[in-house]
Structure 1
Amino acid sequence: MTDAFMGPPWQMDWRLDALSCRDGLPEQVRSMVDEVRAELVTAKDPYFRGIDADADLPVTMYVEPVRSTDPKGPHIMYFDNHRGWLVYTFTPRAQDPQITVEEVFWQ
């Protein structure tokens, strides 16, 4: 066990309903969701806080808080030029930081 704060790659967990939604998507969309997942688990700060913090994301993706009044709450990551999104929370615990996917949607 180490005393240092853990960094990326982060662990990711899925709510069962979000995972079943992801599994029900067409193959090309599932690959886009996997790209979103890769961006989240390797991000220095999965909430992309700060000016231009999401500048390294592909042009088809961006992140914002679900509610602007709750910047540490759930966030939404849009992908495929707003045709889909993934709602997630990040728990920055010292022992076991984790991203939890709550919802996946694509139209």
Structure 2
Amino acid sequence: MTDAFMGPPWQMDWRLDALARLDALPEHVQKKVAEARAELVTARDPYFRGIDADAGLPETMYVEPVRSTDPKGPRILYFDNHRGWLVYAFIPRDEDPQITVVEVFWQ
């Protein structure tokens, strides 16, 4: 029996409204979002479960559940020292697992 688990790099998809917000951001912020995206798609576990699971992220980024009562639900990745965030969900299918970004924000 083979291991059906597919690992990084993960596929990433964007909701159209999130993609439109990304395109509206200044170019230097889009680069910060690209850095955050790179961290997500290469993470072994995009949900960063466990104690200090996000310790490998740069100091300017960290991940937490959107709602603590929904540990398998969407996550929020803060970047640029809390100036921005990505809300995303990870769908861990055996075939074609992917990350879906539902919101991007920067202030």
Normalised to the residue count of structure 2, the TM-score between the two structures is 0.96
Establish whether residue 102 from structure 1 lines up as the match of residue 80 from structure 2.
no
Q: How many residues align?
A: 106
For the aligned residue pairs, the C-alpha RMSD in angstroms reads 1.0
The runs of at least 4 consecutive aligned structure 1 residues that moved more than 4 Å come to none
Structure 1 position 4, deviation (Å): 2.4
Residues 10-65 of structure 1, C-alpha deviation per residue, up to 9 Å, x if partnerless?
00000000001001101110000000100000000000001111001000000000
Structure-2 separation of matches of 1:99 and 1:29: 20
Structure 1 position 3, deviation (Å): 5.3
- Counterparts of 1:20-59 in structure 2, within 5 Å, are 20-59=20-59
Structure-2 separation of matches of 1:13 and 1:29: 19
Structure 2 partner of 1:92? 92
Question: Where in structure 2 are there 5+ consecutive unaligned residues?
Answer: none
Structure 2 partner of 1:72? 72
Percent identity reads 81
AA paired with 1:84? G
Normalised to the residue count of structure 1, the TM-score between the two structures is 0.96
Structure 1 partner of 2:62? 62
